[in-house]
Chain A
Amino acid sequence: MTEIGVVLNSALALSMIWLLIYFGYRQYRLDKFRHELFELRNELFLYAVDGGISFKNSAYRMLRDRINAQIRFAHFITLTRAVLFANMHRRQPLPRAEQIAASWSAARQGLDDDARKKMDSITERVTRTVTYHLVTGAAPLAVLVGVMGILVKVAKLFHRTEESTTLRVAKELNIELLEEQAIAAQQQERELCEIVV
């Protein structure tokens, strides 16, 4: 009879841990991730308020939309999705991805040096934030990236490179693809709204 007590005790403790992880910690991570993106969006807005870029500029609008898309679809940024999409993208690129990348590149070219630097800095931090969220959300990936980080640091001793480990990971995991998918979904919805209106 003591065994049944031990089993029930363990089950109760496991249930509490389960509740904490799936209804507490996971929600907290999502809120924290969105908060960091909101801060970047706010930084972009304040830069425009200070006259660094016009609110009507296509680069401003695109970057704001990009951040908005990440905030909105943050709950879809998972390791499973990243791996499946990256694998699929190698065989069959997402139709809108190239178009989105080309429009961003064109909009960026039209900016003055200061604005371009600012836009690049915010874009880079968005990618870093998305990558960090993705990596820390999956234990196996976190371990893998930890090992990769050490290897990159060792490689940096021999080859001088400015690229950070996070950005390297972002490139390997094709984070841009997840971002572009979110933007495409947002654009499609907007077009659908325009048709209905």
Chain B
Amino acid sequence: MEIPYTVSTRPDTGLWNAKIGIWLFLASEVMLFGALFSAYIFLRIDAAPGTWPHGLLNVPVGTMNTAILILSSVTVVLAWAALKMRRYRAYWWYMLATITCGVIFLTVKLAYEWPQKFEHFGAYIKPEALAKYEQYLGNERRIEKGFEPRIEITGHLHSQNAKEYEVALDPVNADPDNPVMDRPHFFPLPVTDKIATIEKADVQRATMFLPTHSAYFASYFTITGLHGLHVLGGVIVFIYMWLPVSKKLYQRNPEHLANRVEVSGLFWHFVDLVWIFVFPLFYLL
């Protein structure tokens, strides 16, 4: 059975069907990510002073991933243009470049960024015990300067027993009165070898950097996780269009393949577009 309007345009809309289909799908995607972003805004505005973390993510790695995604948006549109010019070889290479970019993006996220967070530890100190840990928090100076007080001690969990945590401190807690620590660093500073002993009785909540750590990490893992699933979906579709099966379609009807690449490209650009907002909101601000 011949499916109508896969290549030619409908006389009433001036569009081929898949194009309307993808835009309706993208409209639903805008609502999906819109709901998550509005939840993010809500949680952030409602966060108590000092509870919204800054500078916990690796900015150079995030910047690199942003550049990779932008590069893949360029290569996918070039792949489509190559098909329009009937240059299959160029299309094949551009598509391979797009797939590679998508795979690098996912690998960096899943094999480097996320596991690094899972290994990091944070202990929120009870308000009445904050003064006891002043040497790690530096709140007297911060309050004097008009900054939000620090309420969490972070680093790598060295060891723990029934009563205490031993934490290899992050630089921000190892040297809290250093003005350099007032703002996040572009290149993340490694965990120091200074060990702090924190009594469990003084801790309000202690966890690794998981979604349960804070509203920040809950929204970070939810939004970047859903975004990552979209990247994975795009890569799978692109792999199909790169395999020899698509060459057969190209030989039969090149415009049909060009249209398929266009709609999957539209999806890919949308994924890029979402990341354009995710990157500054979670990594930089």
Instruction: Tell me, yes or no, whether A binds B.
Output: no
- Residues of chain B at the chain A interface (Cβ within 8 Å): none
